[in-house]
Structure 1
């Protein structure tokens, strides 16, 4: 797994987005690209660097892919109206614009990963290495390029299609390709990755992309395109690769069970302070803003406490989501906890107790603030945790397969896959057979099974339910959140896409803007 964490010299000369900095390939403190990219070791380091932007993406994508939906909101901070707070709140409130640093960061991190993948793919073709080695590295690079473009096309629509290393200014400024052109390339790359990559050799896995990762990605693409038969064929190959459900839902997120048989692809993090470690800190972002996190982030006799008032308060589970869990669903307690306490006059929270959300009632004079519990695990240093970020899990594959089958009128097969997931959650089997009813049941199941894994927004958009669901949620939110701006939740089709970053359009006059933004 440490291969994913290698810090390599080419990080210095790969760019964050498609700008003029792309052509600055030889800073003084880096190895020249003319002498690197020769050996298997060189390319292993280079492909590890192509994974690195996923870590940066994971700390921004929950704003666009989770908080944009009805699953999560934020803790208000009216006493601090700094730009960083206002811009993050704006995404959840549907009032963001092309200068928003956090939607823009998703765009830039995706292109950073694409740039590094392009370098690997292009340079690899020119060297003489063992064919199995080349296939493995090329397959990983194409998976990463495809995944990043899939994220971009769903969030931003038509985007520039960079498919080779940028070596001069002319190559750095491309117009937007059509959505169809982007999807054609995603499918081509994913198919290549499926052919070139091997299934997981063992569990736990290394953390690198596998044939299973690429298969799941392509199935996700086909579901977005409503190619249900093609998606069903792909998803049906996953069990033979060794994937399966863990015994308990919480096992999928345990830091002692990373890259398990349920993991099809997850973004790797490694706690610690040694060179090469790259810790996560999700729990500190998802707890309410407080001067002392200790009541929740202390484990046995290991006291871990910090002031997260500058980082916390985000991705707070909504009451709408909490109310959607069925009675007896074990995933509720595994996914969400309650920080109980009081707010001070500076809008900071003093935590006095850590409570279960099941049948929770606030103590007298206290407030219960829900937080995402599935990323709370033992660690010894604040803001230095070992949690990976799940991208694709086998339970999600089963539910996607159920959806594909239901859309083809195969309700019996769909129910089998749906109920496999429900059984683990401690729920009775669904008996819905009417296609429309079963469709709604599967969507609900995906919502609670994959909550806080950056799937909800994409599910709403691809199924055509984003406008009605978010219109209803927005009306409800306005009655709950009295602090919302007057123009919050202006739900319309234009805002199903985020704006192209204004900074990119200023550099590249060929870039047009999405409708509804200026």
Structure 2
């Protein structure tokens, strides 16, 4: 049963020492379940560390399946090969407010927000000799980053959303909180990233936030806000760090044991905490369900030496009933089930900076950044020379570079080209619907137009 904002934000997630909520039969009268007293939840070094891991776990929950699907399936690289209506709606850009994936993603994201809120509220008051100031600051910086990531994703998915910035522990806490504007939502993302960058240490940790992690997301945020100069500045800071480099061959960034030097931030899984995304991509002969299929045009582009280059490694093939079947191979660890979710890669920072520089008229520098990504894929330099040619070349490079990641749909929406490229001319459909259950539970919550 799906949860609403009101219900999901106030019961205890005991394993992570952070608060979330189980569902109940009456949407309008939720009852707390397994509630943990606020003064007992996060009180010492051990519970603070557990709460931080819990916050990562909540982010991991929506990146495990729902968020990547909402990023790649509405685009043109992938089709849904099945009959489940919730996936078909996304594939056909015909979402409804009761779509299961939309509801799950929204719910999981606000659970992640609340996990962060609980730790942000509790950490300053903890006095434990086993939790030194440096570690306390680091944990605080990590959850500010995580809250920024979630609100950034909520903003680009739904537009302005309710900004919940304090722990929600009773059924009354989540009601009556109206939606902020998109600008206000992104302002909160910036505030959290600014705080995170101040608190986080330098370092090369790739599955927990460090300063460069916050800077990389900030570069992406400025790109979405069309703030070209700071987008260039923050991408440059990440690119200039000796902790990161583009790895070759292309497939190396997604090869076990993962955490390659190209990875700025990824979410780790293990056999006991499995990522089963591979199951949606592999054909049945290989133990999968083959729910997501690269479309013929994407297969042709990835296999074209002049377009895909070594990124053809994103594809694999097998013979089924005498026919050659091609499938997506980004998530391939069917036995170990430990494929990470890729959130921030250095290749994106190069393409962010390339786009920002092209917008600023720095065409030579923009071409150099684009060519860095192309060279890693074994491609010749771009033939683009004008600003318009270069911007289209960057867009197309992103389409191939992040073919099966949560990128393409949001790229076309932020650039205003979803209508031209995908035929989604009703711009009201460029945002996802607020889940129906949440609208029922909170009369002050307004639906996006067109739903």
Q: TM-score, normalised by structure 1?
A: 0.78
Question: What is the CA deviation profile of residues 111-137 of structure 1, one whole-angstrom value per residue up to 9, with x for unaligned ones?
Answer: 111010000001112223533122101
Once superposed, what is the RMSD of the aligned Cα atoms? 2.2
The structure with the largest alpha-carbon Rg is 1
Question: Structure 1 108/323 Cα, relative in aligned 2: closer, same or farther at 3 Å?
Answer: same
Secondary structure of the 1:158 match is: coil
State the partner residue of 1:274.
none
Question: Do the aligned residues in 2 keep the contact of 1:266 with 1:388 (CA within 8 Å)?
Answer: yes
Deviation at 1:41, TM superposition (A): 2.1
Q: Aligned pair count?
A: 428
Deviation at 1:317, TM superposition (A): 1.1
State the partner residue of 2:9.
none
State the partner residue of 1:247.
248
Unaligned runs of 5+ in 1: 1-6, 78-84, 272-276, 294-305, 343-351, 353-365, 472-489
- Residue 113 of structure 2 is aligned to residue 179 of structure 1: no
Matches within 5 A, 1:486-497: 491-497=425-431
Residues in 2 aligned to 1:189 and 1:465: alpha-carbon distance in whole angstroms: 29
State the partner residue of 1:284.
279
Deviation at 1:260, TM superposition (A): 1.8
Out of 132, 135, 156, the position equivalent to 1:133 is 135
Residues in 2 aligned to 1:209 and 1:265: alpha-carbon distance in whole angstroms: 7
Question: Do the aligned residues in 2 keep the contact of 1:103 with 1:498 (CA within 8 Å)?
Answer: yes
State the partner residue of 1:498.
432
Out of 307, 315, 318, the position equivalent to 1:336 is 315
Secondary structure of the 1:192 match is: helix
Question: Structure 1 401/12 Cα, relative in aligned 2: closer, same or farther at 3 Å?
Answer: closer
State the partner residue of 1:149.
151
- Residue 199 of structure 2 is aligned to residue 196 of structure 1: yes
4+ runs deviating over 6 angstroms? 19-23
Matches within 5 A, 1:163-178: 163-173=165-175, 174-178=177-181
Greater share of helix: 2
Secondary structure of the 1:125 match is: helix
Question: Do the aligned residues in 1 keep the contact of 2:18 with 2:55 (CA within 8 Å)?
Answer: no
State the partner residue of 2:5.
none
Deviation at 1:74, TM superposition (A): 1.4
Question: Do the aligned residues in 2 keep the contact of 1:322 with 1:332 (CA within 8 Å)?
Answer: no
- In terms of mean alpha carbon deviation, does 169-178 or 103-112 score higher? 169-178
Question: Do the aligned residues in 1 keep the contact of 2:97 with 2:433 (CA within 8 Å)?
Answer: yes
- In terms of mean alpha carbon deviation, does 129-138 or 495-504 score higher? 129-138
Q: TM-score, normalised by structure 2?
A: 0.89
Question: Structure 1 21/509 Cα, relative in aligned 2: closer, same or farther at 3 Å?
Answer: closer
Residues in 2 aligned to 1:454 and 1:512: alpha-carbon distance in whole angstroms: 26
Matches within 5 A, 1:72-471: 72-77=78-83, 85-128=84-127, 129-173=131-175, 174-201=177-204, 205=205, 207-238=207-238, 239-240=240-241, 242-256=243-257, 258-271=258-271, 277-288=272-283, 290=284, 292-293=285-286, 306=287, 308=288, 312-325=289-302, 326-328=304-306, 329-342=308-321, 366=323, 368-377=324-333, 380=335, 384-471=336-423
Residues in 1 aligned to 2:432 and 2:199: alpha-carbon distance in whole angstroms: 33
Question: What is the CA deviation profile of residues 386-434 of structure 1, one whole-angstrom value per residue up to 9, with x for unaligned ones?
Answer: 2111111101111111111111010111111111111111111114220
Question: Do the aligned residues in 1 keep the contact of 2:82 with 2:291 (CA within 8 Å)?
Answer: no
Unaligned runs of 5+ in 2: 1-12
